[in-house]
Chains A and B, each alone.
Chain A
Amino acid sequence: MDSRQVRRIRRNDRIARWVISVGGCGVVVCVLTMVVMIAGVALPLFRPASAVRVHARRIPADPGEAVLAVGLSDEGRTAYAVLDSGRVLFFDPASGEATQRLGLDGGRPGRGRLRSAHPHSEQTCTLNWDDGSASLIRIFLPAEDGSLGPGSAVARVLPLAAAPPESPPAADSRMWVTEQGHVLHISLLPDNRLRVRRLDADVETGDGAEAPHAEAWQEGRTEAVPFGRIIAFTADRHGEFLYAGTERGHLLRWDIGALPELRLLDAGAAWEDGTAVTVLAMVFGDVSVGVGAADGRVATWAPVRLYGPGSEPRLQRLHRLAPHGAAVTGLSPTEHDKSLLSLASDGSLQVSHMTSERLLLTLRGERPWNGFGLSLRGDGLIAVSPGGHYEVWRLRIPHPEVSWRVLFGRVHYESYDRPEFVWQSSSANDNFEAKFSLVPLIFGSLKGTFYALALTVPLALLGAVYVSQFTRPEVRNLVKPTVEVMAAVPSVVIGFLAALWLAPRVEEGIVGIFLFGLMLPLAVVIFLLLWQGVRGCRQAKRVERGWEFVALVPVLLIGGGLAWGLGPVVEGWLFAGDFRQWLFEGTGARFDQRNSIVIAFALGVAVIPVVFTIAEDALSNVPSSLRAASLALGASRWQTVRRVILPSASPGIFAGIIIGFGRAVGETMIVLMATGNTPVLSPSPFNGMRTLSANIAVEIPEAPVGGTLYRILFLSAVLLFVLTSGLNTAAELLRHRLRRKYGY
């Protein structure tokens, strides 16, 4: 041969080896890194929060001016400080230079100095003047990207409401604009009573600086309470409830919906040991109230129907957050999730999330802080020390609502009566508490799988035994491929048949379905008894050589037909004609049309081919010498199967069941279509379920990329991946052992 040609051939061979090796390895590596990539999306869920100090300077206030409240814009380019001189000072936090000063007294300098200022949500702030009057303002920071807010280039202060001076002045007071647009003014009077005033005026037009007539206010006062001095109070933004905490550690709640009447709803000890309540704040959503104590503990309370549905809700402690080392002096909710910021007298500031009870951040300043403000978006923090020094921090809290306990444990959610496993990822309003428990979904997956396997495993295994051991090879060569082809039936078709064809029929004839379980074995038994009469003849002998199943087809059809026909009769007889009604009245259980029985049949159709094929392989690969020996020793064919073949093939059969389990757990379309997709934790076969896989399909189109829900769905995909590939590996190892044992 031409040496050049030989060289070319050699070169080609080398190139091919290289290409194939690199390509092969590449594909394998790519495919295997899939799980790494999915996990990579889910992992940031557990990334800890972080914070960096970006600026630390002194507030450019005049000497003698004390800082009462601070705030920060979203982009962090403007900050403000409310000063006791009755002014608000806007400054650039980076340079510490004042940009603007505005008077807060609405053009009437007679009001004098400010005693206290309480910032609330949406940059509103209650101002308590030392002449006993109070006002509510909204601070508009300059628009920073030209698109936000009222678009003004300069900061503005908008007076929303004002209350006239009074004497003796209230010890403290706060004002809110309620959801309905009313102004709520709550004052702690010197006689330790709380006064609630409500102004039913539209305040958003902004001309509330003018103090309205005293008559315009609706007013009510609490009774004097025997629980010690009231230290802290707050009210929800719906104007429904007033909360107060006392020095003896009591937490009080009044209904203030029907002024002038105030009804005391709750008066319980916030802490068992009577530690004083120092601060109260409503958590975002205004259902839970955060409570801070003199010894540094922080908890949230919410009304709960303790004594079952219909009972009066009573305040109960739902979550304990991480405690401080010293008395809590400040408590503030974030404005987009259920987090709470708490400041203690030792100057430490903690960010905790209510639902997950995670301590997200603990911050300490160079000097101990006594006040702080959060930007609207919640990622910027400004904190001040008594000397007028401030620090600006940038917070990164990626997924505060997620913890292992939230995902896998019972959590007491707002407006639930007890800690529960709940999955509810979204709701119509945005201040609701997201409920991310994967337990109902895992339970749903396992429940559907359990019912499916309970139905199909006996069927598929017995069928495999029959095909591999008792029937004739030509039947086997026909039946096995037929069942294998069934593995390819698209699950969407099975799901649609189950939901639109099977489910209504099961609902109609549920009793008939139960009768199947009774009638089919009965029909076979009766048939066998009759069979004894004809066993002698030649045709019958032929049937007993591997054609039994053909003879049984009409038997099963007759038995099934009888069961279906008798269903209504039995239903009328046992269940007064309506099983569903009977079930509801007898046990209180609902009957869903798309229930676990339907799922069992549908998933069964998907799983049977898998289990059958693998089990049949395992059974027919048992060396025929074993079988021959057993038969030669006088064992019958069934005895041979039970005592020799089944034990030998059991690892393979088990592997088949495991793989069937994996297929059923991961099946998406069938459960998506044939269950109601309600994430309930009920083992009842008459209810539906929502599985991990269907949940991904349902929720992922709505999940914002990179958000908590998106990542949790990836986490559930990881769970599915780990579960199924773990099971498959186990099955593979089992089969491997079997193969080694018998050397095929």
Chain B
Amino acid sequence: MKTPSSIRQFWRRGEPGVWASGAALAAMLLGIAGMLAVVAANGVVVFWPHRLCEFTLHDGSRVLGEVQQWQDVRGGGRRVQLKVGNRDLYGLDFRWIEGADVAGTRFPCDAVALERQEYGNFYGYLAGVSAADGGPGDGTGGGWAALEAAWRQARQQREALERLQRGINRNNLRMERTRLRLLRLRHRGVAEDDPRVAGLLDRQAALQREFSQLVAQSNAAAVECRRRTARFVDSHGSEEVLPVFGIVRAYRPNAMGRLAKARFYLGKVGELLFGQPREANTEGGLFPAIVGTVMMVFLMSVFSFPLGVLTAVYLREYARDGLVVRLVRIAVNNLAGVPSIVYGIFGLGFFVYGIGGRLDRWLFPERLPTPTLGTGGILWASLTLALLTVPVVIVASEEALGAIPRGIREGSLALGSTRLQTLTRLLLPMASPGIMTGFILAMARAAGEVAPLMITGVVKLAPSLPVDGTPPFVHVERKFMHLGFHIYDIGFQSPNVEAAKPMVFTTALLLVSLVLAMSGSAIWLRQRMKRRYAMGSF
């Protein structure tokens, strides 16, 4: 049984302090878990097809859409946020409905959700599909099967159109290259009647002809695509005729089974990873952003890793340990704590305007004042981030080298090997897990950093990838897209933030899992390494 004295002892011994610190830890862990749960919960469900709900209101009107959330209203009652889509018809995608106004709710099986190339989703009912020649069709017939058939056909047409578009892009690139070559020749003062100039002019003319041909073809194809239409009725009963071509996906969520929904989900994830963004980045895929992020991290690694390891080896193995090295070590540690925006502004001032501007005057004087290298680009962004991550690599590598027992070096040297041999055959292999940890931490940091990129070359929509099939294959001067900046851009700069939210959450989920996987593995590596040395040193 409890006695008052034992309670008093509980307090006197300070047990509440222990519990308070336990509560702090629990609160901290709950906070972290809560944050990850919010990202995961909101990010994972985005692509799962939601049921379409049709509310009949007391005034007799009907509203069809996806239920977003129910909310308590100040002063009593509840209201529901409905994604009604049909931005071209209603102006807004979302609508609040007072719970008291709802007379009836149903989930019609034939309700159709359309993902469109523009104007966001459409929710309504299928009324009919026109014939292939654009005629009125049989009005009643076909229904869903006809729509699917028409959609498959439209997809083929779209692919053909995209091929034409790629042709036009290639042509544009060639034209641009010819223009620049011509510019360079003229800048050098080559006469207009020089055969080189004439040749380029001929080529320009040929490309121009090819261009107009391609454009004509593509226009014709586009017109052809738009002829096949489907009629839909929205919940108010007004009819909307949409070209089948403009429909990215058509589905009837209320008629879908679990398996169909899962297939739909996977399809959307595939589009996310490999598709191009649509609708001001708020729909479609993240492929350019993923490629940009990976490419930037890769370039950063190329600069940062060798230099970081070199410096660490110098500081730990070659430099004489003294006041200077200690100061340098403190300075390097400090640099790891300098705000990233400071690196960013340095990158802008030094790399972009300093080195880039100078290289432009030297290499591409004919293109001025249009900057080639003197503007933000993936190279400068990577260099900036390399600078930012070098301290991380140095510190980690130094720690790894420092953890190797002295006896190993002495033994190796005593056996007659040189320092280089000791380094390459013993120290580096032994330190490699620690160095790897540093690399992974640096990559994780680089993948998640946005502020310095914003001012050194990230854009919301890059016309072309920094790596592609045209020589020289890797285009370090190009601007690029980035997952982190994507979040900032569509979450804060897009006109329709509410509609962009699902995309922001998926992007955030993708970025967080990428970064957490990287740093998690780094920490796992470190733990394993610690254990190895802990066993090896005794």
Do A and B originate from a single complex?
Answer: yes
B23 CB contacts on chain A under 8 angstroms: 462, 520, 524, 549, 552, 555-556
The proximity string for B residues 481-493 relative to A, scoring 1 for CB distances below 8 Å and 0 otherwise, is 0001101100110
Interface string of A493-536 (1 = CB under 8 A from B): 11111011100000000000000000010001000100011011
Q: Does B538 sit within 8 A of A, measured CB to CB?
A: no
Contact of B310 among A9, A20, A663, A713 (CB under 8 A): A20
A25 & B314 in contact (Cβ 8 Å cutoff): yes
Chain A residues with Cβ under 8 A from B328's Cβ? 28
Let me know if A20 and B313 touch, CB within 8 A: yes
Name B394-446 residues within 8 Å CB distance of A.
418-421, 423, 441, 444-445
A485 within 8 A of B: yes
A324 to chain B, nearest CB (A): 40
Report the minimum CB–CB distance from B516 to chain A (whole Å).
6
For residue B104, CB closer than 8 A to chain A, the reply is: no
Question: Which residues of chain A are near B418, meaning CB under 8 Å?
Answer: 9-10, 12-13
CB distance from B311 to the nearest CB of A (A): 4
In contact, A24 and B313 (Cβ under 8 angstroms): yes
Nearest residue, chain A, Cβ from B12: A636
A697/B14 in contact, CB under 8 A: no
A37 within 8 A of B: yes
Please tell me if the beta carbons of A489 and B516 are within 8 angstroms of each other in the complex. yes
A663 to B342, CA, bound (A): 12
Give the residues in chain B near A604, CB-CB below 8 Å. 31
**Most chain A beta-carbon neighbours within 10 Å: one of B311, B339, B441, B504:** B339
Shortest Cβ distance from residue A415 to the other chain B in the assembled complex, whole angstroms? 31
**Contact present for B28 and A638 (CB under 8 Å):** no
Check A717 for interface membership: any CB of B closer than 8 A.
yes
Residues of A within 8 A of B451 (CB): 491, 668-669, 672, 693, 697
Report chain B residues within 8 Å CB of A481: 520, 523-524, 527
Q: Residue on A with the closest CB to B10? A: A532
Residues of chain B with a CB closer than 8 A to A154's CB: none
| Complex-state Cα separation, A517 to B23, whole angstroms | 13
Known: A528-B16, A673-B488. A491 touches B310 (CB 8 A): no
The answer for the CA separation of A701 and B493 in the assembled complex, in Å, is: 15
The answer on a CB contact under 8 Å between A636 and B13 is yes
Separation of A486 and B32 alpha carbons in the complex (Å): 8
Known: A493-B487, A499-B491, A532-B2. A484 touches B516 (CB 8 A): no
Q: Is B353 interfacial (CB-CB < 8 Å)? A: yes
Measured CA separation A612–B444 after assembly (Å): 20
Chain A CB within 8 A of B100 CB = no
Q: Smallest distance from the beta carbon of A731 to chain B beta carbons, Å?
A: 8
Binds B, one of A53-61, A145-153, A189-197, A719-727: A719-727
- Whether B109 sits at the interface, judged by CB under 8 Å, is no
Instruction: Decide yes or no: A466 and B21 within 8 Å by CB, A485-B520, A488-B519 being known contacts.
Output: yes
Which residues of B lie under 8 Å from residue A562 when comparing CB positions? none
Segment at the A interface, from B169-177, B223-231, B344-352: B344-352
> Is residue A363 within 8 Å, beta carbon to beta carbon, of the partner chain?
no
Whether A65 sits at the interface, judged by CB under 8 Å, is no
A662's partner among B22, B30, B337, B511 (CB-CB below 8 A) is B337
Q: From the candidates B35, B341, B420, name the one contacting A497 in the complex (CB within 8 A).
A: B35
The reply to whether B311 and A24 form a contact with Cβ atoms under 8 Å apart is yes
Q: Does A629 contact B (CB under 8 A)?
A: no
- Is A38 within 8 A of B28, CB to CB? no
B19 touches A37 (CB 8 A): no
List of B residues within 8 angstroms of A673 by Cβ: 488, 491-492
**A552-B19, A556-B30 in contact; A17/B346 too (CB < 8 A)?**
no
A494 to B31, CA, bound (A): 12
| Residues from chain B with Cβ under 8 Å of A532 in the complex | 2, 6-7, 10
Which residues of A sit under 8 angstroms from B314, Cβ to Cβ?
20-21, 23-25
- Chain A residues near B338 (CB-CB < 8 A): 666, 720-721, 724-725
With A and B bound together, what is the CA distance between A16 and B422 in angstroms?
Answer: 12
Q: Which residues of A contact B75 (CB under 8 A)?
A: 577
The residues in A between 548 and 587 inclusive whose CB is less than 8 angstroms from any CB of B are 548-553, 555-557, 568, 577-578
User: Does B310 contact A23, Cβ atoms closer than 8 Å?
Assistant: yes
- Asked if B419 contacts A500 (CB within 8 A), the reply is no
Q: Mark A607-643, 1 if CB is under 8 A from B, else 0.
A: 0100010000000000000000000000011110110
A684 within 8 A of B: no
Q: Is B38 an interface residue (CB 8 A)?
A: yes
Q: Does A714 contact B (CB under 8 A)?
A: yes
**From residue B521, how far is it (CB to closest CB) to chain A in Å?**
10
Decide if A52 is an interface residue (CB 8 Å cutoff). no
Given contacts A28-B328, A493-B39, contact A669 B19 (CB under 8 A): no
Q: In the complex the two chains form, is B342's CB within 8 Å of A666's CB?
A: yes
CB within 8 Å of B: which A666-689 residues: 666-669, 672-673
Q: Who on chain B is nearest to A465 by CB?
A: B21
Say yes or no: A724 contacts B39, CB within 8 Å. Answer: no
Once the chains bind, are B22 and A470 in contact (CB under 8 Å)?
Answer: yes
Contact B339 A668, beta carbon cutoff 8 Å = yes
Interface flag for B319 (CB, 8 Å): yes
Query: B515 on the interface (CB 8 Å rule)?
Result: yes
Q: Are B331 and A32 in contact (CB under 8 A)?
A: yes
Say yes or no: B28 contacts A612, CB within 8 Å: yes
Count of residues in B whose CB is under 8 Å from the partner chain: 102
Q: Which of A135-149 contact B (CB under 8 A)?
A: none
Could you say which residues of chain A place their CB within 8 Å of the CB of B473?
none
CB A496 to nearest CB in B, in angstroms, measures 5
Contact between chains at B341 and A696 (CB < 8 Å): yes
Alpha-carbon separation in the docked complex, A13 to B72 (Å): 75
Of the candidates B13, B32, B311, which one forms a contact with A638 in the assembled complex, judged by CB atoms under 8 Å apart? B13
Residues of chain A in range 465-492 having any CB-CB distance to chain B below 8 Å = 465-467, 470-471, 477, 479, 481-492
Shortest distance between the CB of A346 and any CB in chain B (Å): 44
Q: Is A669 a contact of B523 with CB atoms below 8 Å?
A: no
Cα A499 to Cα B493 with chains together (Å): 13
Over the window 1-21 of chain B, the binary record of Cβ atoms lying under 8 Å from chain A Cβ atoms (1 yes, 0 no) is 110001100100111111111
Say whether A127 faces chain B, with CB atoms less than 8 Å apart: no
CA distance A717 to B348 in the complex (A): 12
Contact of B450 with A by CB under 8 A: yes
Contact A470 B2, CB 8 Å, known A38-B345, A493-B39, A669-B488:
no
- Whether, in the assembled complex, A355 has its beta carbon less than 8 Å from a beta carbon of chain B, the answer is no
Q: Does B512 contact A (CB under 8 A)?
A: yes
The docked-state distance in angstroms from the alpha carbon of A487 to that of B444 is 10
Q: A9-B421, A488-B444 are in contact. Are A668 and B346 (CB under 8 A)?
A: no
User: Assuming A23-B310, A467-B25, is B504 touching A496 (CB within 8 A)?
Assistant: yes
State the CA gap A471–B315 with chains docked (Å): 38
How far, in angstroms, from A576 to B353 measured CA to CA in the complex?
Answer: 57
B26 touches A24 (CB 8 A): no
Within 8 Å of chain B (Cβ to Cβ): is A463?
yes
Measured CA separation A486–B523 after assembly (Å) = 11
A700 at the interface (CB under 8 A from B): yes
Report the bound CA distance from A268 to B32 in whole Å.
65
**Is A705 part of the binding interface, using a Cβ–Cβ cutoff of 8 Å?**
yes
Interface presence of B220 (CB below 8 A)? no
B334 within 8 A of A: yes
Which residues of B are found within 8 Å of A644, using beta-carbon distances?
Answer: none
B318 at interface by CB-CB < 8 Å: yes
B22 A13 Cβ-Cβ under 8 A:
no
Q: A residues bordering B, Cβ < 8 Å?
A: 9-10, 12-13, 16-17, 19-21, 23-25, 27-28, 31-32, 34, 37-38, 41, 458-463, 465-467, 470-471, 477, 479, 481-497, 499-501, 520, 524, 528, 532-533, 535-536, 544, 548-553, 555-557, 568, 577-578, 604-605, 608, 612, 636-639, 641-642, 659, 662-663, 665-669, 672-673, 693, 696-697, 700-701, 705, 713-714, 717, 720-721, 724-725, 727-729, 732-733
Can you list 22 A-B contacts with CB-CB less than 8 angstroms, sorted by A residue number? A13-B419, A27-B310, A28-B315, A28-B328, A34-B335, A37-B349, A488-B519, A490-B447, A490-B450, A490-B515, A491-B451, A520-B23, A528-B16, A535-B6, A553-B30, A556-B26, A557-B30, A605-B32, A669-B451, A696-B344, A697-B341, A728-B333
Nearest 6 pairs of A and B residues by beta carbon:
A666-B339, A24-B314, A638-B14, A490-B448, A462-B24, A548-B22
